[in-house]
Amino acid sequence: MSTNRISLIIGITLTVSAVGLVAFLAYKTGGTRPQDPSTPYPYYTERVVFKNVEANITLAGTLTLPSAEGTFPAVILISGSGPQNRDEEILRHRPFLVIADHLTKSGIAVLRYDDRGVGKSTADFKAATTVDFASDAASAVEYLKTRKEIDGQNIGLIGHSEGGLVAPMVASSSNDVSFIVLLAGPGIELRKVLMLQQELIPRAMGASEGAIRKSITMTEEALQMILTSTDRETLKAALAKLIEKDYDSISAIQMFPKLTKEQYVGMQSDNLSSQWFKHLLSYDPALTLEKVSCPVLAINGEKDIQVTAKENLAAISGALAKGGNVNVTVKELPNLNHFFQNCKTGSPTEYESIEETFSPVALKEVSDWVLKQVR
C-alpha cells in the first residue's frame, strides 16, 4: 500500500513488511521538494488536538481553512500504513501537506493529523490495527462537527493506501460522512494484494523470473504460517528462521543498507507477526465497500505496483455496485505510481529520486470531484 507498514513486498524471496521501510526511511526527512507550499500560506492554519474518547487517546493535527471567517466543506486525510505524521512524510516528500494546500486553496477545509503514537498524538502505534485507525478517523469527524467553521453536512474522507481501507470502514457505519475518496485503496483481499506485489515489485527491480517464483513460494509459506498461528512468540521465531534461511538471496536488503542481518531478521519477524498484520491478511475490503452508500471517488496510478489499478479498481467498482451505490467514479491515471508521482517503472526504488510529490493532474481530479459533491 504505501511504502509503509502495509507489507510492501520488495523482497525477492520474502514479504518485506513496510513498517520497517518507514522506520528506516524516517532518517531521510527534512529538506524541501518543489511542490512544498511556502509560508505565509494564503489561508488560515491552526494546530488542533481532539480526543478519541473510546480509546482514551489524544490526536494532534493541523486544520486549514480557506479563511478564518465563514463556513466550509471539509475533508479529513487518512494516511497509509505505518507510523505517519500529519503530512504523511516519507523520503522528504509530504504528500498530505501538498494535498491540503491544494484543497484549501480550492475552498475546502482540511484536517490532517499525526497517527496515534506519532508526533504529538498519544497511544501505542504498534498495538493498533486498522480497526483502531478507523476509530481515530471517526473521532476526527466528530471533532469537525464541533467546529463552527465547518459545514457538518459536507464532511468527507480522503484515504491513501491503507487509509483507503479506513475510509470505507468509517463511511459504512456513519451518516456523518458525506463522501469518500480512495487514493490507491485496496479493493481485493489483502492477501491477493500482497501476492501481486511479490511478483511485480521484484520484477520492476530487475529480478529473474526464477527468483520471483521462489519469492512467491516463500511468501505463501510465510502468510500461511501467519494466518494459522495462535501464538505470536512461536510465530515470530518461525518467521525469523524462514527469513534467515534465505537472507543472502533477499534483494530487499538493498533497501536497508544500514541494517545488519540480525536487525533485518528481527525487524521483519516482529512486523510480520504483529496483530495488525494478521488482521490485515484476513480482511476483505469488498465486504465493507458493499455497505458504503455515500458518493465515492476511487483513483489509482497506472504504474502502481503496490496496489494495482486494474484489479483493485474493478473490485471497488463491483463491490459498490453490488451494494447499490450508483454515485461512483473510478479512474486509472496514466503514468503514476503508488504515491501518484509521474514515474518510469512504478518501483519503490524510484520514489525518492522523483522530485514531484503528487501529480497536479491527480490533485485536480480530487478537488474537482470534491467540489462537485459539496455544491
DSSP string, 200-267: HHHHHTT--HHHHHHHHHHHHHHHHHHHH-S-HHHHHHHHHHHHHHTGGG-GGGGG-TT--HHHHHHH
User: In 3D, which of 186, 37, 33, 153 has the Cα closest to residue 103?
Assistant: 37
* pLDDT tens figures, 87-123: 999 999 999 999 999 999 999 999 999 999 999 999 9
pLDDT at residue 3 is higher than 80: no
**What residues contact residue 128 under an 8 Å CB cut-off, 6+ apart?**
116, 117, 276
Name the 3-class secondary structure at 183. strand
207 vs 326 pLDDT, higher one: 326
Per-residue confidence (pLDDT) for residue 145, from 0 to 100: 98
- Mean pLDDT along residues 348-375: 96
The answer, yes or no, to whether residue 21 has pLDDT greater than 80, is: no
Count of CB atoms situated within 10 Å of the CB of 56: 9
Higher per-residue pLDDT: 218 or 27: 218
Q: Is the pLDDT of residue 24 over 70?
A: no
- In this structure, are residues 325 and 210 in contact, taking their beta carbons and an 8 Å threshold? no
Residue range 115-142: mean pLDDT, rounded: 97
Nearest to 135 by CA among 185, 127, 34, 3: 127
- Can you give the pLDDT at residue 235? 96
The C-alpha cell of 58 is what? 489524544
pLDDT of residue 349: 87
| Whole-number Cα distances in Å, 307 to 33, 35, 40, 364, 369 | 25, 24, 36, 21, 22
Amino acid at 332: E
- C-alpha of 13 from chain center: 24
Could you tell me the three cell numbers for 114?
Answer: 499525526
Q: What is the chain's percent helix, strand, coil content, to nearest 5?
A: 45, 15, 40
Reported confidence tier of residue 17, pLDDT bands at 50, 70, 90: very low
Q: Which residues contact 66 (CB under 8 A, 6 or more apart)?
A: 43, 44, 72, 104, 105, 107, 108, 109
pLDDT surpassing 60 at residue 321: yes
Q: Which of 372, 354, 256 is nearest to 301 (CA)?
A: 354
Q: How far apart are CA 229 and CA 224, in angstroms?
A: 8
**Residue 136 has what pLDDT?**
98
DSSP per position, 27-78: TS--S--TTSPPSSPSSEEEEEEEEETTTTEEEEEEEEES-SSS-EEEEEEE
Q: CA separation (Å) from 242 to 21, 112, 141, 235? A: 19, 39, 43, 11
Residue 363 confidence class, pLDDT cut points 50, 70, 90: very high
Tell me: pLDDT of 6 over 60. no
Render pLDDT for 35-55 as a digit per residue (tens, 0 to 9). 999 999 999 999 999 999 999
Measure the CA angle with vertex 338, ends 43 and 361; round to 5°: 50
186: nearest Cα among 4, 318, 312: 312
pLDDT digits (tens, 9 = 90+) for 262-284: 888 888 899 899 999 999 999 99
Cis before 40 (ω within 30)? yes
Domains with residue ranges and CATH for the chain: 18-26+190-281 (no CATH), 44-188+283-374 (3.40.50.1820)
Average pLDDT over residues 3-8: 35
